[in-house]
Structures are given as structure tokens and as C-alpha cells.
Amino acid sequence: MDTDVSDAARPVLEGPDIARVLTRMAHEIVERAKGADGVVLLGIPTRGVFLADRLAAKLAGITGRRIPVGSLDITMYRDDLRLRPARALARTDIPADGIDGRLVVLVDDVLFSGRTIRAALDALNDIGRPRAVQLAVLVDRGHRELPIRADYVGKNLPTSLRETVRVQLEEEDGRDAVLLGERRETGAPAAEDRRPEPARTGER
């Protein structure tokens, strides 16, 4: 992904900002879900999983209870599966008690076209029947192509299609930041949430 972001990328959120917005989102989840009863957090690999883990920790701090957390790989449900080389799969890890009758909160780093989330909803369908599904994202950069919105947003970040948004997290990248940069080459970003990545990185 590094190659997709120009050197001039500038941070719009730094480490402390990210910690703060995650705390706020955790409180919003507790408030909306009335104490986070029956909540299951499912992160979308790769960075959504780390964000889900962090949210789960904060929820546990607030509620004093352990919140089930897992991961949901959407690779095989993507609508652009056949447009690119076959990709390595990421981990799908559903908490032991499953998702039937639960409130599943999907967690991802950036909400863009909405296609990733549509794929996640399809993937969920093959796993069980939640009571409800909500969506938490660290950044909503706009440009939706499907009727999808987030329930919990860390930061709304109006962008142009020429810009790139890149989330860095300590667990994967060695530091926390949200970077806004210029796309190097112009190209239609319409079909995807993110620029193409090499098939072997384990990312979507």
C-alpha cells in the first residue's frame, strides 16, 4: 500500500487522536446497545481486526465484562474477485458462541464505496443470523456507491477521489496515524474501497 500514497501524505489523526476517538466510539456502542449486551465485534482484516480488539478492550473497561471479538474475511465475497488475481485469504474467526441472535458490530478502518461492507454482510449470511448488524469505522471518507452508512464513525473526512486515505496502526505498521495523500496515478477508484494491492500481502 505504501506505493499508493505520495510522500507528501499528511496526518489527519495521530496516535492520541485515534485513542480518543476509539474511546468515544466505545461509549457510543455502550449507549446505543444499552450496555453492550449481546454485542459481538467482528473486525475486517487486516486493520479492522486490530481496531475491533482495541474497541473490545475499551468496552470491557467500561462495562466490566468481556466482549466477544473475532474477524471476518470477505475476500471470497468481494464483487471484484474476478477482476484481479486470486488473493490469499485472511482469517475468519467467529467467537465460540457464534453470532445467532447477537448484535454484530462490523469494524473496519476506512469506509469508502461501501462494497467491502456489502461483501461482509454476504459473508455473515453464511455464518449465522444476528439480531442486528451495525458498522463502526475509524474514518468515513465519503464517495459511497451502495446504500450503506456507518453507525459509529471515528472521523468524517471529506476527500476527493484524487486523494488517498491510509490508516496505520501500531500492531501492523509500528505507529498509529491516519494519512491523507494524493493518488499518484489517476484511475477510476469506483470499484473498490482501496487501491489494488499485491495478492500476496494477505490484505484485501
Partner 1 sequence: MKRHLISAADLTRDDAVLILDTAEEMARVADRPIKKLPALRGRTVVNLFFEDSTRTRISFEAAEKRLSADVINFAAKGSSVSKGESLKDTAQTLEAMGVDAVVIRHGASGAPYRLATSGWIDAAVVNAGDGTHQHPTQSLLDAFTLRRRLVGRDAGLGRDLAGRRVTIVGDILHSRVARSNVDLLHTLGAEVTLVAPPTLLPVGVGNWPCEVSYDLDAALPKSDAVMMLRVQRERMNAAFFPTEREYARRYGLDGDRMAKMPEHAIVMHPGPMVRGMEITAEVADSARCTAVEQVAGGVHTRMAVLYLLLGGNEPAVSHARTEETK
Compute the radius of gyration of the chain from its Cα atoms: 16
Binding to partner 1 by residue 53, rule CB under 8 A?
no
Q: Tell me the sheet residues that pair with 39.
A: 103
Q: Which of 20, 66, 91, 162 binds partner 1 (CB under 8 A)?
A: 91
Q: Which of 85, 147, 158, 174 binds partner 1 (CB under 8 A)?
A: 85
Q: Which of 2, 64, 158, 200 binds partner 1 (CB under 8 A)?
A: 200
Binding to partner 1 by residue 77, rule CB under 8 A?
yes
| Element housing 15 (H / E) | helix 15-32
The CA distances from residue 156 to 18, 118, 139, in Å, are 13, 20, 6
77-85, 163-171, 174-182, 186-194 -> range binding partner 1 (CB under 8 A)? 77-85
Q: Which residues of 158-169 are buried (b: 16+ CB within 10 A; e: fewer)?
A: ebeeebbbbbbb
**Can you give the binding site for partner 1, defined by CB under 8 A?**
73, 76-77, 81-92, 94, 122, 126-128, 199-200
